[in-house]
Amino acid sequence: MQLPLKVLLIEDREDDALLIARTLTRGGYDAYIHRVDTEAALREALASQSWDVILSDYRLPRFSCQAALRALQESGADIPFIALSGTGNEETILDLVRAGARDYVMKDNLARLPSAIEREMREAEGRRQRKRLEAQLQQAMKMEAIGRLAGGVAHDFNNLLTVITGFAQLALLDENPAREGLEQILFAAERASGLTRQLLAFSRQQALEPRVFDLNRLVRDMEKMLRRLIGENVRVSTSMAGEPLFVRADPSQLEQVLLNLAINSRDAIGHGGKLILGTSRRRLEGAAATLHGLHPGDYCAIAVADNGCGIAPDVLPHIFEPFFTTRPEGQGTGLGLSTVYGIVQQSGGAIYAQSDGRTGTTMTVLLPLSALAADAALAARPEALAASTETVLVAEDDDAVRKLVAESLAASGFRVLQAANGEEALEILHALGPAGVELLVTDVVMPGISGPILAARAAELLPRLRVLFMSGYTEDVIRHHGLSQGHAAFLQKPFAPGELVRRARELLDADKGKPRVQRAT
């Protein structure tokens, strides 16, 4: 089998060029040879594509071998350069080596050329590998440093937020003339609380609940919801490993990972395109494992590939940094991929992005393959039950969150109604009458009628209504907000779609028939 080889040949003589071509074919190469004999043509060839090797005649009528080496250096490319000459003057050879030539082959001994090329290409690959490893190490050290900084800030910031919200809520308990101002403080604090939680995820400080489960199944369970969320103009397809891929991780955190990646793809695709979700088994050995900061061994790969706008080479090294975003002001926080990065790292895996900057992006998550079989508990995960059919009313003032919640529930079969605030939710409940809605999923902090007040008023209309509260605050902080204890479930934001559906199902199935909501105190 002939080895393909792309040769940039600097040679003014046609007959010598033919001889070189023949030597390469005889040496086992299927060579594509591009011949140039001026400096301008050389520079153009260097700029237009990549080359495996440069072969250069030493004596050129229109420019010198030294000028060619200078042009190569200026291009920044690491391409082996081999000089060819009819004379074997020691001084000449030394000059060329000093100028950066890797080897020197006499034209009357061209038979040596194929082996010289082979050695140079092997060494060039070694240099490339070392460069990749150095870059990877530097990247890992950078992310580690940012992680420590982000984690430290987030931790202290969270404590401050607890004080801010605590006192604002205390002040709201009495008739307070500053009520509106205090409510604004609480809104801002809730946003801040969400941000700090994402930062904590990035710095790998989340409380995870790892279990052993089949990744294929998780991806399949998510697929339907992702299809709906991503919209009709993106074709979603899957390419799954034929065997189960057991990993030990927190399933709801992995759902969050898939969701963030898929949303980025949707945004990159814009009007029409495709998204492929894939899983596969990978064996990583030696350098391939080190390159991702992993131990050699068996891994499961989840790939999310899109044919969107791609990621430019100068953007690529930054995408996992917190607050790095290329979106217009106010359209993205730049925490999506940082959260993903933190979750994957904390689960003992790695993530990397590939893009040529034009025709799309592939994000690959690697997770250690678990030798254990799946937990029996997980085999009976609630979302594997028959599709839900109940009617759910979602009250949430943040449009993006409301859409996500609605889509997640609809994808599991629920009939979903949406309200952008407490007043709208009450109007819907009034209009539908006593049997209209089985579950209310509501944000806790909303302008006007808050979640707990909405729940209490709803309970007067529909005593059997179950309520699932969502909030960016922890349950502890929320307790002061009048959330009735023991009669309503609580879901802390941000949550994964599967978690939401599981909790909704649990709530609807738990001691059926009893009233679920009491008046908030």
Ligand X SMILES: Nc1ncnc2c1ncn2[C@@H]1O[C@H](COP(=O)(O)OP(=O)(O)OP(=O)(O)O)[C@@H](O)[C@H]1O
Site of interaction with Mg ion (CB under 5 A)? 264, 336
Q: How far is it, in rounded angstroms, from Cα 379 to Cα 339?
A: 27
Which stretch, 25-33, 88-96, 155-163, 331-339, contacts ligand X (CB under 6 A)?
Answer: 331-339
Q: Does 193 bind ligand X (CB under 6 A)?
A: no
Please count the helices (runs of H) and the strands (runs of E) in the chain: 16, 17
Q: Largest Cα–Cα distance in the chain?
A: 102
Which stretch, 12-20, 234-242, 321-329, 501-509, contacts ligand X (CB under 6 A)?
Answer: 321-329
Q: What DSSP letter does each residue of 60-120 carry, written as one string?
A: -SSS-HHHHHHHHHHHT----EEEEES---HHHHHHHHHHT--EEEEGGGGGGHHHHHHHH
C-beta nearest to ligand X: residue: 336
361, interface contact from Mg ion, ligand X, none, CB < 5-8 Å by kind: ligand X
CB of 320 to ligand X, least distance (A): 7
Strands 439-443 and 466-471, sheet pairing: parallel
Q: How far is it, in rounded angstroms, from Cα 423 to Cα 193?
A: 25
Which stretch, 57-65, 304-312, 376-384, 423-431, contacts ligand X (CB under 6 A)?
Answer: 304-312
CB of 258 to Mg ion, least distance (A): 12
Q: Phi and psi (nearest 5°) for 511?
A: 5, 75
Burial (Cβ within 10 Å: 0-12, 13-18, ≥19) of residue 437: buried
CB of 269 to Mg ion, least distance (A): 13
Give me the torsion for CA of 13, 19, 20, 22, rounded to 10°. Answer: 150
484: which DSSP letter? P
Residues 333, 391, 421, 492: which binds ligand X (CB under 6 A)? 333
Burial (Cβ within 10 Å: 0-12, 13-18, ≥19) of residue 406: buried
Q: Does 334 bind ligand X (CB under 6 A)?
A: yes
Residue type, 481: H
Query: Between 117 and 319, whose beta carbon lies closer to ligand X?
Result: 319
CB of 410 to Mg ion, least distance (A): 22
311, interface contact from ligand X, Mg ion, none, CB < 5-8 Å by kind: ligand X
Q: Does 308 bind ligand X (CB under 6 A)?
A: yes
x/- letters, 352..381, toward ligand X (CB under 6 A): ---------x--------------------
319, interface contact from ligand X, Mg ion, none, CB < 5-8 Å by kind: ligand X
Query: Between 27 and 308, whose beta carbon lies closer to ligand X?
Result: 308
Angle at 87 between CA 83 and CA 91, to 5 degrees: 75
Q: Does 166 bind ligand X (CB under 6 A)?
A: no
Query: Between 169 and 264, whose beta carbon lies closer to Mg ion?
Result: 264
C-beta nearest to Mg ion: residue: 336
Token representation of residue 15: 């007959």
Q: How far is it, in rounded angstroms, from Cα 103 to Cα 49?
A: 23
Q: Does 336 bind ligand X (CB under 6 A)?
A: yes
Query: Between 371 and 400, whose beta carbon lies closer to Mg ion?
Result: 400
CB of 355 to ligand X, least distance (A): 7
Q: How far is it, in rounded angstroms, from Cα 501 to Cα 491?
A: 11
Q: Does 311 bind ligand X (CB under 6 A)?
A: yes
Q: Does 10 bind ligand X (CB under 6 A)?
A: no
Q: What DSSP letter does each residue of 229-263 carry, written as one string?
A: HH-TTEEEEEE--SS--EEEE-HHHHHHHHHHHHH
SS3 content of the chain, % helix, strand, coil (to 5): 50, 20, 30
Number of residues engaging ligand X in binding (CB under 6 A) = 23
Q: Does 309 bind ligand X (CB under 6 A)?
A: yes
Which stretch, 48-56, 143-151, 271-279, 308-316, contacts ligand X (CB under 6 A)?
Answer: 308-316
Residues 46, 219, 241, 337: which binds ligand X (CB under 6 A)? 337
Q: Does 264 bind ligand X (CB under 6 A)?
A: yes
325, interface contact from Mg ion, ligand X, none, CB < 5-8 Å by kind: ligand X
- CA–CA distance from 413 to each of 250, 387, 440 (Å)? 24, 5, 16
Token representation of residue 234: 């993106």
Which stretch, 27-35, 77-85, 311-319, 501-509, contacts ligand X (CB under 6 A)?
Answer: 311-319
Nearest to 106 by CA among 46, 37, 19: 19
CB of 192 to ligand X, least distance (A): 15
Q: Does 429 bind ligand X (CB under 6 A)?
A: no
Q: Does 319 bind ligand X (CB under 6 A)?
A: yes
11, interface contact from Mg ion, ligand X, none, CB < 5-8 Å by kind: none
Site residues, ligand X (CB under 6 A):
260, 264-265, 268, 306, 308-311, 315, 319, 324-327, 332-338, 361
